[in-house]
Amino acid sequence: MFVPNKKQLIMHDFKYFTSRVINVQDMEHTFGNFSTILQSALNGKIYICGGKQRKKLFEFDERNNSLVEKSEMHSGRSNHAFVEVMLTGELVAIGGWDGEQSMNQTESFTISNNSWRHLPKLVEERHSLSACTLGNSFIYAIGGSSAINYGSSLSTIERLNFASSHNFNGATHWEHIYLSGPCSDAKRSQLGSFAISESQIMIFGGFLDTDLTAQCFVIDTGSKEIKRMSEGAQMRKAKKFIKFKDYILKDGRSVYVVDDENEIHQFDIDRQQWHIIETNREQP
């Protein structure tokens, strides 16, 4: 995780439940409040993208405690979604805020050749959204806001299909997904999401309409239904998830996510329960 407005990273070890602060002094600027960060499953490296409407992408060099600047995005952005597509080896930046308005631009970074390329635009401009991959077929873009003003959150969901051809060549457009169920029209932003099966996505936290929530929902992508999860499956605290769009899946059954206040949440898929995880801070 990065520390906003400072030149620091916080590294969490989920094997030993320890954390340590790393000072990254060779940075020209501090981390922006609305940069996004993820750890690649392909090479294990950490990437920090955008923030303060910048085009920057950094790769963290753990051996030297330094950031390596990579090729810049085509569009500067913040409050965007940032996901990895294992099938193609690409990191995808979706939507965001350009300093004046919400964005529908989507682009992908190929790790192997250090280059960005344009992808199809979202149907709707959105920032403060959540996004996740489902199997080897889809990226889902969920909720977010269409503007910066109060009450501009979105209830809509879009997906991009890239299963028909590698490298998104067959993905010509994002498509709206229309859900059924009593929760289908609720507006959501600053939420988190991850796939809990080959056909189901769990969404959690963030703003539900205008209130910060601890509620969790499951989207069945086959039946296109959304259902509220049981009381026992609700988060321990109502939290926002803007900066840390990544999650860690441990042993196939536990998911770890980090909220915007650097607190760690664990979801036990088998028991359908959330826990807040404490780590021991190592001395630098």
The answer to whether 10 touches 243, Cβ cutoff 8 Å, is no
pLDDT of 277 higher than 70: yes
The answer to whether 54 touches 76, Cβ cutoff 8 Å, is yes
Is 173 part of a structural domain of the chain?
yes
Confidence tier at 146 by pLDDT (50, 70, 90): very high
d(CA 37, CA 210): 26
pLDDT tens per residue, range 211-234: 999 999 999 999 999 999 999 999
d(CA 37, CA 79): 11
Give how many domains the chain has, as a whole number.
1
Is 198 part of a structural domain of the chain?
yes
**Selected residue with higher pLDDT from 15 and 45:** 45
**Selected residue with higher pLDDT from 281 and 92:** 92
Return mean pLDDT, the chain.
84
CATH number for the domain that contains residue 237? 2.120.10.80
Residue 223: strand, helix, or coil: coil
d(CA 133, CA 81): 11
Chain-centroid distance of CA 249 in Å reads 14
d(CA 127, CA 101): 9
pLDDT of residue 148: 74
Half-sphere exposure at residue 231, Cβ-oriented, CA atoms within 13 angstroms: 0
Is 208 part of a structural domain of the chain?
yes
Is 47 part of a structural domain of the chain?
no
Is 31 part of a structural domain of the chain?
no
From 7-16, 18-27, 57-66, 161-170, the region with the lowest mean pLDDT: 161-170
Beta bridge partners of 84: 91
Type of residue numbered 31: F
d(CA 174, CA 25): 40
Which domain covers residue 198, as residue numbers? 79-281
pLDDT of residue 147: 87
> In the numeric block, which tokens belong to residue 239?
């939290």
Segment 150-171 mean pLDDT? 74
Residue 4: strand, helix, or coil: coil
d(CA 265, CA 278): 9
Confidence tier at 81 by pLDDT (50, 70, 90): very high
Is 22 part of a structural domain of the chain?
no
Highest mean pLDDT among 17-21, 25-29, 154-158 belongs to 154-158
CB count within 10 Å of CB 230 equals 10
Quick one: residue 211, left, alpha or beta (phi over 0 = left, psi -120 to 50 = alpha)?
A: beta
The answer to whether 263 touches 22, Cβ cutoff 8 Å, is no
d(CA 59, CA 158): 29
Is 72 part of a structural domain of the chain?
no
The pTM of this model reads 0.89
**Selected residue with higher pLDDT from 169 and 263:** 263
